[in-house]
Chains A and B, each alone.
Chain A
Amino acid sequence: MTDTRVPLVEMRDMQKSFGGIKAVDHVSIDLYPGEVVGVLGHNGAGKSVLMKMLSGAIPRDGGEIWINGARAEINTPRDARRYHLETIYQTLALADNLDAASNLFLGRELVTPLGFVDDSTMEAEARKIMARLNPNFRRFSEPVSALSGGQRQSVAIARAVYFNARILIMDEPTAALGPYETQMVMDLINELRRTGIGIFLIDHDIHQVKLMCDRAHVMKNGQLVGTVRVAEVTEDDLLGMIIAGKMPAHLAG
Chain B
Amino acid sequence: MATAAPPGPARTGGARGLFAALEVDARLLGMIVAFGAICLAFQIWTGVRLSGPGFDPMGWLTGGTFLTPRNLFNLSIQTVSVAIMATGMVFVIVMRHIDLSVGALLATCSAIMAMMQTSVLVQGLGLPLGDPLLAPLAILTGLVAGTLIGALHGWLIGYLTIPAFIVTLGGLLVWRNVAWHLTGGQTIGPLDGTFQLFGGTNGTIGEFWSWIVGGLGVLGAWWALWSARRDRIRHDFAVKPIWAELTIALLAAGAILGFVAILNAYQIPALRLRRMFEARGEAMPPGYTEGFGLPVSVLVLLVVAVAMTLVARRTRFGRYIFAAGGNPEAAELSGINTRLLTVKVFALMGFLCALSAVVASARQTFHSNDIGTLDELRVIAAAVIGGTALSGGLGTIYGAILGALVMQSLQSGMAMVNVDAPYQNIVVGLVLVVAVWIDIVYRKRMGLRR
A interface list, Cβ under 8 A from B? 55, 57, 76-78, 81, 87, 89, 91-98, 102-103, 106-109, 111, 115-117, 119-121, 123-124, 127, 131, 135, 138, 141, 143, 145-146
Contact = CB atoms under 8 A, between A and B. Distances in A.
A106 B310 contact: no
Interface in B227-242: 231-232, 234-237
Contact of A138 (B4, B237, B320): B4
Interface in B4-20: 4, 6
Interface string B307-329: 00010001110011011111101
B160 interface: no
Given A106-B323, A131-B1, A120 B393 contact: no
A92 B333 CA distance: 10
A195 B190 CA distance: 74
Given A77-B335, A96-B327, A97-B393, A109 B319 contact: yes
Contact of B315 (A76, A77, A102, A117): A117
Interface string B323-351: 11111011111111000000000000000
Please classify the interface of chain B as helix (H, G, I), strand (E, B), loop, or mixed, using the class held by over half of its residues.
helix
Contacts of A111: 316
Interface string B22-65: 00000000000000000000000000000000000000000000
A173 to B, nearest CB: 16
Contacts of B6: 141
Contacts of B333: 55, 57, 77, 87, 89, 93
A145 B449 contact: yes
B394 interface: yes
A94 B237 contact: no
A107 B337 CA distance: 10
Contact of A107 (B237, B327, B336): B336
Contacts of A109: 316, 319
Contact of B231 (A78, A108, A120): A120
Contacts of A57: 332-333
B387 to A, nearest CB: 13
A77 B332 contact: yes
Contacts of B232: 120
B325 A97 contact: yes
13 contacts: A57-B333, A92-B330, A93-B330, A94-B327, A94-B330, A97-B322, A97-B394, A106-B323, A106-B330, A106-B334, A107-B320, A107-B336, A116-B310
Nearest to A57: B333
Contact of B335 (A81, A92, A141): A81
Given A95-B331, A107-B331, 15 more contacts: A76-B335, A77-B335, A94-B327, A95-B326, A98-B319, A106-B336, A107-B336, A109-B319, A111-B316, A116-B310, A120-B234, A127-B2, A138-B1, A143-B449, A146-B449
A95 B4 contact: no
Contacts of B322: 95, 97-98
A57 B329 CA distance: 9
Nearest to A76: B335
B329 A93 contact: yes
Interface residues of B, number: 33
Given A77-B333, A138-B4, A120 B325 contact: no
Contacts of B2: 127
A206 to B, nearest CB: 28
Given A106-B334, A127-B2, A138-B4, A117 B316 contact: yes
A110 B141 CA distance: 36
Nearest to B333: A93
Interface string B167-205: 000000000000000000000000000000000000000
Nearest to A138: B4
A99 to B, nearest CB: 11
A30 to B, nearest CB: 24
Given A89-B333, A91-B329, A106-B323, A121 B449 contact: no
Contacts of A78: 335
A121 B230 CA distance: 12
A141 B7 CA distance: 13
A120 to B, nearest CB: 4
B90 to A, nearest CB: 14
Interface in B220-269: 231-232, 234-237
A106 B336 CA distance: 9
A102 B319 contact: yes
A54 to B, nearest CB: 13
Contacts of A127: 1-2
B393 A115 contact: no
A103 B331 CA distance: 10
A129 to B, nearest CB: 12
Contacts of A131: 1
Nearest to B332: A77
In this complex, the member of B2, B6, B330, B332 whose beta carbon has the largest number of chain A beta carbons within 10 angstroms is B330
Given A77-B332, A93-B327, A96-B326, A117 B394 contact: no
Given A106-B331, A107-B336, A95 B393 contact: yes
A133 to B, nearest CB: 12
A78 B331 CA distance: 11
B261 to A, nearest CB: 32
Given A111-B316, A115-B315, A124-B235, A95 B330 contact: yes
A226 B371 CA distance: 70
A37 to B, nearest CB: 22
A123 B237 CA distance: 9
Closest A-B pairs by Cβ, 5 of them: A97-B326, A107-B334, A97-B393, A95-B326, A116-B314
Contacts of B325: 97
Contacts of B310: 116
